Amino acid sequence: MSTDSATETQRKSDLSFCYFVIDSLPLAIVAVDPDLRITRFNAWAQEITGHSEKQAIGRYCGDVLQGGMCSRDCPLRTVISRQEPIIRIETTIRRRGGNAIPVEMNTAGLFDQSGNLIGAVEAFQDISKKKAQEREKSNLISMFAHDMNSSLTGIHGLGLRLLKTEDLNQEKPRKFIEVLTKEASKLEFLVKDFLEFSRLQTGKLNLTFDATFLDKELYELFSIYEPKAAAMGILLTLESAASLPVIEADANRLRRVFANLLSNALKFSRQGGKVAITVEESDGEVMVTVRDDGIGIDPEELPYIFDIFHRGRDAEKKEGYGVGLAIVKAIVEGHGGRVLVASEPGKGSTFTVFLPKIRKLGEE
């Protein structure tokens, strides 16, 4: 074989390897010539756009992608004229016969070995999920602000009326104070969950470990939730060994864990239902179970219920933001423990928190 043909064989093999890499990447890649006619359209580009390679090659890129920037600031035109790449812009492309899809796009010029411009390439990814999450997040934040606002307006208004109580009879101030306290406690719960959530996001969830009397913490929570359960027609019970071991934990955060599990158990129970807290211990762990016989969780939703902002379909009618269980998981895992869930729709749910009695070395 002559040197020239060996070089040519090597070049072809390099090229086919490049195409293999381009087709395997989970990234849509579209190359165009200087007139913006498509010269390469990889498998992911076909998947996202719904156009086959055959339908796309040779056509004007704007006709195929129908991108949100095609008619005004076509990124390909810009990189060709400026000869500078454009990195991570968010735009849209239109699926064949369908909807606009949000994409994140990188665009660059293509040059031959002598540095002459021979076209351009754009690589993009479907970011529909990211956009949907962003929308959900901002919806929740506005719902949160809305709920804070209505509670605050109520508190403010009642405060003003209380200041003028002389002309009211004796019963009214008491009623007002009851409403004030209820609204304030609702706000406190909301704000605390959001504070914990932002600490989670910024990695600032610092736990303070101390000797913690788990039975005392659970009993106190039980005393708070028992009247609430009774008012909802639900029987709340607490069963634990005569005396539980003292564990190394952040007591305040643990209360938050069990408060969230308990308020969910009550929220998703029916009148006449039962919620049971049971505590057991093994050699190295304490297991706290919160069991209800409420509406249960769809098996398809189970893998996601600890995700931040995830709310079950049946949860739509109840108050909440889908933050509570994400906080439960983060706090329990911060203790070196784990939380498991078992549930059957229509029959109820069981959440079990496993906590090590002694913090393992190296854990903060």
Measured distance CA(205)–CA(210) in Å, rounded: 16
Please state the closest distance from residue 327 (CB atom) to ligand ADP, in A: 8
CB of 328 to ligand ADP, least distance (A): 7
How many beta carbons lie within 10 A of that of residue 77, not counting itself? Answer: 17
- With CB under 6 A as the contact rule, the residue among 196, 250, 292, 293 that binds ligand ADP is 292
Q: Is 354 in the site for ligand ADP (CB under 6 A)?
A: no
Q: Is 315 in the site for ligand ADP (CB under 6 A)?
A: yes
**Residue 350: CB minimum distance to ligand ADP, A:** 9
Residue 339 as a binder of ligand ADP (CB under 6 A): the answer is: no
- Out of 121, 234, 325, 331, point to the residue binding ligand ADP (CB under 6 A): 325
Cβ proximity to ligand ADP, 212 vs 264, nearer residue: 264
Minimum gap (Å) between residue 155 Cβ and ligand ADP: 22
Angle at 37 between CA 35 and CA 41, to 5 degrees: 145
Span interacting with ligand ADP, options 44-52, 89-97, 151-159, 310-318, rule CB under 6 A? 310-318
Query: Cα(first)–Cα(last) distance of the chain, in Å?
Result: 66
Residue the block writes with tokens 């004030």: 180
From the CB of 315, what's the least distance to ligand ADP, in Å?
3
337 lies in the site for ligand ADP, by CB under 6 A: no
Minimum distance between the CB of residue 333 and ligand ADP, rounded to whole angstroms?
A: 15
3-state secondary structure of 113: coil
Contact residue for ligand ADP among 65, 105, 286, 295 (CB under 6 A): 295
Residue 119 interacts with ligand ADP (CB under 6 A)?
Answer: no
Q: By CB under 6 A, tell whether 324 contacts ligand ADP.
A: yes
Q: Render 298-329 in DSSP notation, one character per residue.
A: -TTTGGGTTSTT---GGGGGS---S-HHHHHH
Q: Which is nearer to ligand ADP, 159 or 272 (CB)?
A: 272
Min separation Cβ 296 and ligand ADP, Å: 6
Q: Is 107 helix (H, G, I), strand (E, B) or coil?
A: strand
The residues with which 235 forms a beta bridge, in sequence order, are 274
For position 273 contacting ligand ADP by CB under 6 A, the verdict is no
**354 vs 339: CA distance, rounded Å:** 6
CB 276 within 8 A of CB 283: no
Which stretches of the chain are DSSP H helices?
3-24, 43-49, 53-56, 61-65, 75-82, 128-163, 171-201, 214-231, 251-267, 324-334
Does position 265 interact with ligand ADP (CB under 6 A)? The reply is yes
Binding mask 232-261 for ligand ADP (x = CB under 6 A): ----------------------------x-
- Answer yes or no whether residue 67 interacts with ligand ADP by CB under 6 A: no
Q: How far is the CB of 282 from ligand ADP (least distance, A)?
A: 24
Q: Put the strands of the sheet holding 285-292 in their side by side order.
A: 235-240, 274-281, 285-292, 348-356, 338-344
Question: Tokens 């989970």, residue?
Answer: 26
Q: Please, which residues bridge with residue 125 across strands?
A: 104
Residues that bind ligand ADP (CB under 6 A): 260, 264-265, 268, 292, 294-297, 305, 310-312, 315, 320-326, 349
